[in-house]
Structure 1
Amino acid sequence: MQLQKEEIESLEQKYKLNLINSISGVKPANLIGTKSLNEKENVAIFSSVVHLGSSPAQLAFIMRPQSEIPRDTYSNILETGFYTINHVSESFIKKAHYTSAKLERGESEFDRMKLEKEYIGEFHAPFVRDSAVKIGMKHMDSVPLPNGCIFVIGSVEMIVIPDHTINDLGQLNLEGYSGVGISGLNTYYSLNKLDSFPYVREDEIPDFE
């Protein structure tokens, strides 16, 4: 298949939606947890979390365009300034996926999808108890994108990771806790380590045949 821009735009709408959402490949599967000032908890799945920097530690994710009344996740982040990022594992992918449903405002996906929440220390937002990797985030900035989406930038305030999933170099073994990735909007893949290579220096590049 080879498609030019005009042909892409003329595709049947659902087919085009699935195609464009999947051509970027496998993306990380994360649940973002929030809580409003009036104690309403919310959790929703996102596949757009990206690394921005290590020093200071910053992550970001993309929020869809908001209506006049923002969805619970974004509204809670703006209201409180805090949220959590929780890796999804194979054991709860179905529950995680269904958090994408548009529930009534204020209804908790934790309760509806039977996802157990967890609070750690004094951190305001809830974590997902079954998640192996839990990250506490503080909202730094929201950058509007040309398509109406919002690039939400945050600082890493807390990391909770099982000791056995980290090697001596600080590298995370996603296979060690059955982490999963998302292709498109609703297809999940297991993650298996294939290899690990050294930091690349020009004078150490192998002679490739």
Structure 2
Amino acid sequence: MELNQSDFTRLDTRYRANFFNTLAGFKSANLIGTYDENDKENLAVFNSVIHLGANPALMGFILRPTTVERHTYENIKKTGFYTINHIHEAIIEKAHHTSAKYPSQISEFEASGLHAQVVDDFKAPFVKESIIKVGLEFRNEYFIKENDTRLIVGEVVHISIPKEFITAEGSIDLPKAQTVAISGLDSYLKTKLIKKLSYARPKPNNN
């Protein structure tokens, strides 16, 4: 099958959304936790979390247009803090339920059956059931005018992870931690290491 832009416009709306949501490949599966100004918990599943740098340690995620209520965004802007929690195999169904559109006064933690975890005095809730948990402080946002989305940038200020999932070289063993990936909006997948390769260098000139 070959498609061009004229074909895109003829696709059914839901079909088109599913197609382009899977076109970029597998994505990370995370839950983002926040408090509102009254310390009411909010939790939502995101498939757009990305690594932005190690020094300083930055992570980003894409926020959809704010033409409707975006509780995660509103809370981050008010408090300046949020958490990113890996989804693993045992909590897929509960994690996915946080994508339901609840009003702001309803806690997705309670609605999904997950539990909020308070760590010291950090100003956002972690997911107790998650194995790998990251606390971030909001640093910046970048508006993407082409589709009215935003790149939200945060600095990592707290990490909770069992030591046995960190390799001798510092990498996190995601398959061992049972961290899952997302395809599209609703398909969750296991991860499996195929092969670990050495740092690539230019091949010597054989001419």
TM range (shorter): over 0.9
Q: How far apart are 1:126 and its partner, in Å?
A: 0.4
Preserved CA contact (<8 Å) 1:34 1:125: yes
Q: SS at the partner of 2:82?
A: strand
Q: How far apart are 1:70 and its partner, in Å?
A: 3.8
Per the alignment, residue 175 of structure 1 pairs with: 175
Alignment-mate amino acid for residue 193 of structure 1: L
Residues 1:144 and 2:153 aligned together: no
Per the alignment, residue 128 of structure 2 pairs with: 129
Per the alignment, residue 66 of structure 1 pairs with: 66
Q: SS at the partner of 1:136?
A: strand
Per the alignment, residue 155 of structure 2 pairs with: 155
Per the alignment, residue 103 of structure 1 pairs with: 102
Instruction: Trace 1:17-32 onto structure 2 (pairs within 5 A).
Output: 17-32=17-32
Report the Cα distance in structure 2 between the residues aligned to 1:40 and 1:194, rounded to whole angstroms: 42
Alignment CA distance shift 1:195-1:122 (3 Å): same
Percentage of pairs with the same residue: 40
Cα-to-partner distance string for 1:45-97 (whole Å, 9 max, x where unaligned):
00000111111100000011113x64211110000000000000010101111
Report the Cα distance in structure 1 between the residues aligned to 2:69 and 2:55, rounded to whole angstroms: 31
Per the alignment, residue 7 of structure 2 pairs with: 7
Report the Cα distance in structure 2 between the residues aligned to 1:172 and 1:204, rounded to whole angstroms: 32
Q: How far apart are 1:201 and its partner, in Å?
A: 2.2
Cα-to-partner distance string for 1:15-54 (whole Å, 9 max, x where unaligned):
1110000111110000000001201100000000011111
Q: How far apart are 1:13 and its partner, in Å?
A: 1.1
Preserved CA contact (<8 Å) 1:119 1:126: yes
Ranges in structure 1 where 5+ consecutive residues have no aligned partner: none
Cα-to-partner distance string for 1:77-123 (whole Å, 9 max, x where unaligned):
00000000000001010111110111012211000001011111111
Residues 1:118 and 2:152 aligned together: no
Superposition TM-score, scaled by structure 1 size: 0.94
